[in-house]
Structure 1
Amino acid sequence: MEPVEPLPQDRAAEPLTEYVQRVTRRVRAFDRRRPLVWDLLLTGFWVLAALIDAAGGWRNVAHDPDVPAALVLALSLALTVPLLWRRTHPGAALLVSMPAALVSSWSGAALQAALLQLLLVHHIALRLPLRTLWWAVALVTAPTCVAVARYGDSAGSWNQQLGSHLLSVGVAVLIGVTVRTRRDYTEVLEDRARRLETERDQQLRLAAAAERARIAREMHDIIGHNLSVITGLADGGRYAAAKSPERAAQALDAIGTTSRQALGELRRLLDVLRDEDRTDRAELAPQPALTDLDRLLTGVRGAGLPVRTTVQGRATLPEGRQLTVYRVIQEALTNTLKHAGPDATAHIDLSYEAGGAVALTVTDTGRGGPPPAASEGRGLPGMRERTSLYGGTLEAGPRPRPERGWRVHLRLPEESAQ
């Protein structure tokens, strides 16, 4: 069975307001592209209307119907042609048309085209500083005052003429001010929307940069440490291969374990980057804590670096603080494996103070001096970034003479002092 086409009356009709808005937007877009076309059309319409009135209709309302036709024609053109500049130079257009309006009132022609000055007043209220309205209203009122002074009550009572004229001027001004207020308010809203959009984009870029920095820091801590351990195990296994094959096999087993652990953690980080839907699953792997310190030290000792630990006090730290302390120890020991040289030893002194404060000192007996290319790496900057998150301080540098080696000192203040 073939599908039945819906009848025209079954289709949702476009609302009239949306149709009008769409047409209005198109007209405004065309006017922005070709403003002269619209100005010529509007001016041509009023010129044509004024010329038709000058053919004889003006005598129906004139104070003096015997005004020469040539003068009426010239006045009609002088009152309508300046409308071409109503949007670009409304004040100048009003000044140009003023002599014709005064002559029209003085001669008694009282041309209806003089009412087009209200359109110029509207554009002055719309585009020029509002203080300009005072002299604009005074100018357009002058011809009415001239007609009242010259012809008196023959054209009606003076208060009726002035009242109706001022009312017309007030309506033109009010419309201009209203449209101007709405336009300015719309521009403010659009500018605010643009700024909010820009700020939103900036926040997204900052968040993305912070996330990249966090991931780079995590990858440095994980991969850098594990590769250093693997390098130490490989060097030890090479020396042990000739004398003790069993020790070499143990070194190879440790290399495999360490590399698999590093590979697993790397995959977890890459999962977060690759697929947002898998973020929850990736986060199931917990971040290391101080309870994992023994495993870290076992790997370091297996790589050939003797490490002693001293712990003073006891406290339960939040996960974020534990991760910071753990990563600082990890980075310090990694640098020792890389730069301290053979026969170096390390000592970890961890002290839990009152109120949740923590003091950590990691020292080694290596060659001392700054690590090679320290400014190019992320080790020390990463430790300082982690420490600053909790308002702590980090000092790293060679141990004072005559001692040899490197010293890293971390202190995290009380949680309430942050």
Structure 2
Amino acid sequence: MHRLNAWLRGHPLVVDGVWASIVLFLALVSDYPDGTFQRIAYFTVSGIIAVLMVVRRRWPDLTVAVGMALGLVQVVLRVDPDASSLGYLVFVYTGAAFGARWSSRLALVGSLVAGPLSMLVFHDSNDAGHGFLQRSFVALLLSSPFILCWAWGRLTRVRRAYLVELEDRAERLERERDAQAKVAVAAERARIARELHDVVAHNVSVMIVQADGAAYVMDNSPQQAKEALGTIAATGRQALVEMRRLLGVLRTADAAEEYVPQPSVEELPELLEQVRTAGLPVEFTTSGEARELPRGVELTVYRIVQEALTNVRKHGGPNASARVAVDFGDRDLNVLIEDDGRGSTDEQLARGGVDGQGHGLIGMRERIGMVSGSLDAGPRPGGGFRIRAVLPLKTAK
């Protein structure tokens, strides 16, 4: 049914043609007037009305003008109204709904004079059985359908203008939303780049310290110097990986900021304790063999858990609780954060957008994509929200 309505709205000429065919059929099966001239006028008027009904939406102003002129000719020639005269109601509606201002006013004037002209021409004015007030009342009744059609057309015009305004507003909001999403992505990438900058700086600092230590013990303890050189090589490879990620994320130069220690997976219990102190019950479990992770992965895990729990506090409701599970696999690190909050549409929209600090799922996806991972986020069955992140542990050489 929805497809049929959409097709009919997209093919107005077909719809108008069907209605014109019905009106013309009713005119043909009606009683014909007596006299050759009257019959010719009768069929001519019916045919012109049917044609105008078909083309009324393509040329509304022309349709109203020709329709009003045709109505006056019919009155002058005293061609009795028939089933095809229903087309005049359609013309009045067309002028009010689709026509220019002048054609709408012309349709209104025609609606007002239709009843009095019909009483004057097609009814016996010498009929003593009807007084002036009665004839005026009948004339008003005859004009009422035309006036109602004109009012319906004006209502249609206003409604159509309102819908056009809503569509324009929706398009503007969509453009603004896309622009805000781009701004959020850029801000989050800049933030991630600064954090990775700190990670790389830390690795370089370790390399410098190890190099100084190796130079100091080179003569007295060659074995320690060899171990220091191995540490420098491993740290350098890790710094190279982080630097590649940094160059892939960073789009514009950022102002230098003071270096700060970056959190890791080992600090998750402290984070969860802070969340519990704030009033959100959180269950934390780990599985698999815990081991040292690349600094970029450590930071990504910590930030994802931090942002997810922040969203639970904001949108999960007063009685929500959460669960955090970290699974150390052979090649992947699986992180699961889920809650049993209200899980409403507003909550989902909020978690899918960004908060005042520019975070949200946009930031999570940026962080996950930076370490070549995947993110799955959505409502839980039975209520609440679930975020599952998979981060590969195999780094590039």
Normalised to the residue count of structure 1, the TM-score between the two structures is 0.50
2:300 to 270, 284, 294: 270
Aligned to 1:34: 11
Q: Aligned to 2:79, what secondary structure does the other structure show? A: coil
Q: What is the CA-CA distance between 1:277 and the residue it aligns to?
A: 9.1
Structure 1 residues 71 and 226 mapped into 2: Cα distance closer, same or farther (>3 Å)?
A: same
Q: Percent identity, aligned pairs only?
A: 28
1:98 to 68, 74, 82: 68
Structure 1 residues 72 and 254 mapped into 2: Cα distance closer, same or farther (>3 Å)?
A: closer
Gaps of 5+ in 2: 239-263, 265-291, 310-323, 326-397
8 Å CA contact retained: 2:20, 2:54: yes
Listed as ranges, the matches of 1:158-177 within 5 Å are 158-177=135-154
Q: What is the CA-CA distance between 1:191 and the residue it aligns to?
A: 3.4
The one-character-per-residue Cα deviations of 1:86-114 (angstroms, maximum 9, x if unpaired) are: 21222211222334322322233321333
8 Å CA contact retained: 2:64, 2:94: no
Aligned to 1:206: 183
The higher-RCO structure (CA 8 Å, 6+ apart) is 2
Q: What is the CA-CA distance between 1:71 and the residue it aligns to?
A: 2.0
Question: 1: distance between equivalents of 2:302 and 2:9?
Answer: 49
2:125 to 145, 150, 153: 153
Q: What one-letter code is carried by the residue in structure 2 that aligns with 1:138?
A: V
Aligned to 2:54: 84
1:138 to 104, 109, 113: 109
8 Å CA contact retained: 1:47, 1:77: yes
Q: What is the CA-CA distance between 1:181 and the residue it aligns to?
A: 2.6
Q: What is the CA-CA distance between 1:176 and the residue it aligns to?
A: 1.4
Q: Aligned to 1:242, what secondary structure does the other structure show? A: coil
Q: Aligned to 2:125, what secondary structure does the other structure show? A: helix
Question: 2: distance between equivalents of 1:134 and 1:83?
Answer: 19
Structure 1 residues 70 and 217 mapped into 2: Cα distance closer, same or farther (>3 Å)?
A: same
8 Å CA contact retained: 2:24, 2:50: yes
Structure 1 residues 279 and 31 mapped into 2: Cα distance closer, same or farther (>3 Å)?
A: closer
Q: What is the CA-CA distance between 1:249 and the residue it aligns to?
A: 7.1
1:74 to 44, 47, 59: 44
8 Å CA contact retained: 1:215, 1:269: no
1:223 aligns with 2:200: yes
Q: What is the CA-CA distance between 1:227 and the residue it aligns to?
A: 1.4
Larger of the two Rg values belongs to structure: 1
Q: Aligned to 2:219, what secondary structure does the other structure show? A: helix
Q: What is the CA-CA distance between 1:26 and the residue it aligns to?
A: 3.2
8 Å CA contact retained: 1:98, 1:140: no
Gaps of 5+ in 1: 1-22, 60-64, 283-418
Listed as ranges, the matches of 1:223-242 within 5 Å are 223-231=200-208, 233-234=210-211, 237-238=214-215, 240-242=217-219
The one-character-per-residue Cα deviations of 1:369-402 (angstroms, maximum 9, x if unpaired) are: xxxxxxxxxxxxxxxxxxxxxxxxxxxxxxxxxx
Q: Aligned to 1:223, what secondary structure does the other structure show? A: helix
Question: 1: distance between equivalents of 2:188 and 2:155?
Answer: 49
1:127 aligns with 2:98: yes
Structure 1 residues 71 and 267 mapped into 2: Cα distance closer, same or farther (>3 Å)?
A: closer
8 Å CA contact retained: 1:67, 1:107: no
Question: 1: distance between equivalents of 2:106 and 2:187?
Answer: 60
Q: What one-letter code is carried by the residue in structure 1 that aligns with 2:176?
A: E
2:23 to 35, 41, 46: 46
Question: 2: distance between equivalents of 1:48 and 1:264?
Answer: 82
Q: What one-letter code is carried by the residue in structure 2 that aligns with 1:29?
A: A
Structure 1 residues 222 and 91 mapped into 2: Cα distance closer, same or farther (>3 Å)?
A: same
1:179 to 132, 139, 156: 156
Q: What is the CA-CA distance between 1:68 and the residue it aligns to?
A: 2.5
Q: What one-letter code is carried by the residue in structure 2 that aligns with 1:89?
A: W
Question: 2: distance between equivalents of 1:231 and 1:35?
Answer: 78
Q: What one-letter code is carried by the residue in structure 2 that aligns with 1:37?
A: V
Q: What is the CA-CA distance between 1:175 and the residue it aligns to?
A: 1.3
Structure 1 residues 142 and 77 mapped into 2: Cα distance closer, same or farther (>3 Å)?
A: farther
Pairs aligned (count): 252
- What RMSD, in angstroms, separates the aligned Cα atoms of the two structures? 4.0
8 Å CA contact retained: 2:52, 2:67: yes
Question: 2: distance between equivalents of 1:94 and 1:128?
Answer: 8
Structure 1 residues 264 and 66 mapped into 2: Cα distance closer, same or farther (>3 Å)?
A: closer
Question: 2: distance between equivalents of 1:100 and 1:128?
Answer: 18
Structure 1 residues 131 and 235 mapped into 2: Cα distance closer, same or farther (>3 Å)?
A: farther
Question: 2: distance between equivalents of 1:163 and 1:140?
Answer: 10
Aligned to 1:372: none
Q: What is the CA-CA distance between 1:265 and the residue it aligns to?
A: 3.8
Q: What is the CA-CA distance between 1:119 and the residue it aligns to?
A: 0.9
Question: 2: distance between equivalents of 1:279 and 1:115?
Answer: 65
Question: 2: distance between equivalents of 1:114 and 1:183?
Answer: 27
